Amino acid sequence: MSPIFKKARHRPDYVFITVLVLLVIFGLVMLASASSDLGKIKFNDSYYYLKHQLSYGLLIGFLGFLAGSLIYYRFWEKLAPWLLLGNIILLLLVFSPLGVSIKGSERWVDFGFVSFQPGEILKFTFLAYLAAWFSRSQARSRSFSKGFLPFLILSGVVAFLLFLQPATTTAVVILAASLIVYFSAGAKFRFVIGAVVIGLVAITSLIFLTDYRYERVLGFLNPQEDPLGRGYHLNQALIAIGSGGLTGVGYGQSTTKLHYLPEPIGDSIFAVIAEELGFVGSILLIFLFIILVWRSFSLGRQAPDLFSRCLAFGFGTLIGIQAFINMAATSGLFPLTGIPLPFISFGGTALAVCLTMAGIIVNISKYRL
C-alpha cells in the first residue's frame, strides 16, 4: 500500500481552498436564516439546525477534510474496494430494522448513537473504487468485455439499490459522475454514449412506471395545472425567487420560508437565498461553484497519474452536477428533487462527504505536474 504521508511537490491550491471556505461559511450563514423560524417552532431553539450542522456535519466534515488533505491520495487506492463493500452493506441495512423511513423514503441507517445516509457516502466510495479499478489497467477502460460490461453491471447494481430507497436523483448524480471517471480513464467515446443511452432509457422507463415520479415530472412541465398539489412546491419556490428581485428582501427577511416554501433548509434553500439576497447573491453563489469545479478540473488535467486524475474529475463533476440540479430544479429548469445543495443545505452526511472529497482534491493539488 502507498505510504500514508509523502512529501508534497507543491503548495496546496489556495484558490480552491479559499472558495471552499467561502462556500461553507456562506452555507452556515444562510442555514441560520433559513432554519431560524423552523427551529423555534419545532424545538424552541432558533439555532437548533445550525448547531446540529456545526456539531455533526461540519465537525466530521472537517476531520474528513483534514484526512483527505493530509493523507497521500494513493493511500485510498487499495482501500477503495473495502470502502465500497462496506458502503453496499450499509445500503442493504437501510432495509433492515436499523433503517429509518422519513417521508416515505428509506435512506437512513440509525445505530442509536448516530444516524446517516449511506447513499451520500456512496458518492465518495463508488467514484474512488472506479478510479482505483480503472487506474490498475488503462487498457481496461477501452475494452468492451473487461471494462464496459463490468462498469454497466456495477453501476446497475448501485443504481438499483438507490432506486429502491428511493433516491433517484442521487443515483443520477452518482452515475453521471461515474461516467466522467470512465471517460477520464480513457474510455472509447462510443462506450460513453452507449452508457448514456442505456441510462436515459432506464430512467425514463422508471419515471413512467412509478406514479410519484411521473407526477413530479408533470408538476415540472405544468406547475399551474395543479397549483395546490403537484405544482405547489415549484410555484412557492418561484414566488420566493421572484420576490428577491435584484438585491433581495434582506438577510433573515424571507416570508416564504416558514409557512409556504417546503423544505426551506434542504433542497429549497436556494429559493431562500434568492429571496433574501436577490439576483446578485444568487449569481455570486453560482460563481463560487463554477470556480470550485473549474479548479477541480484544472487539477485533474495536471494530476500526476490516472488515479488522481479520475478522482479530481469525478469529485468535481459530482459537486458541480449536484449544485446545478438543485438550483435548476428550484428555478423551474429541472424537475424537483430531494437532492441537497452542496455545502449549503442542512444535512450532516452530505456536508461531511463533500468536505472529505474536497480534502482529497487539495491533496492531489500538492502533487500536480
- pLDDT score, position 146: 87
pLDDT at position 340 over 80: yes
Average pLDDT, stretch 78-101? 89
> Which of 62, 67, 70 is closest to 24 using CA atoms?
62
Q: Is the peptide bond before 166 cis (omega within 30 degrees of 0)?
A: yes
- pLDDT score, position 104: 63
pLDDT at position 333 over 60: yes
Does the residue 265 lie in any domain?
yes
CB 107 within 8 A of CB 165: yes
pLDDT at position 262 over 80: yes
- pLDDT score, position 298: 95
pLDDT digits 0-9 by tens, 106-155 = 778 888 777 888 999 999 999 999 999 999 877 788 888 888 999 999 99
Residue 315 φ then ψ, to 5°: -65, -45
Does the residue 176 lie in any domain?
yes
pLDDT band at residue 259 under the 50/70/90 scheme: confident
Phi-psi region of 329 (alpha: psi -120 to 50; beta: other; left: phi over 0): alpha
**Domain total in the chain:** 1
Q: What is the mean pLDDT of the chain?
A: 89
pLDDT at position 230 over 80: no
3-state percent breakdown (helix, strand, coil) of the chain, nearest 5: 70, 5, 30
pLDDT digits 0-9 by tens, 348-358 = 899 999 999 99
Does the residue 40 lie in any domain?
yes
CB 118 within 8 A of CB 149: no
Highest-confidence segment of 232-246, 251-265, 289-303:
289-303
Does the residue 85 lie in any domain?
yes
> Checking DSSP bridges between strand 99-102 and strand 105-110, what pairing results, if any?
antiparallel
pLDDT band at residue 163 under the 50/70/90 scheme: confident
CA distance 34 to 92: 33
- pLDDT score, position 67: 94
Does the residue 1 lie in any domain?
no
Does the residue 240 lie in any domain?
yes
> Which of 361, 353, 364, 366 is closest to 124 using CA atoms?
353
Sheet holding 115-116, edge to edge: 99-102, 105-110, 115-116
CA distance 336 to 217: 8
Alpha carbon 171 to chain centroid distance? 10
> Which of 160, 68, 164 is closest to 358 using CA atoms?
68
> Which of 247, 256, 257 is closest to 32 using CA atoms?
257
CA distance 36 to 127: 36
pLDDT band at residue 255 under the 50/70/90 scheme: confident
User: What range does the domain containing 32 cover?
Assistant: 14-365
> Which of 98, 60, 22, 11 is closest to 281 using CA atoms?
22
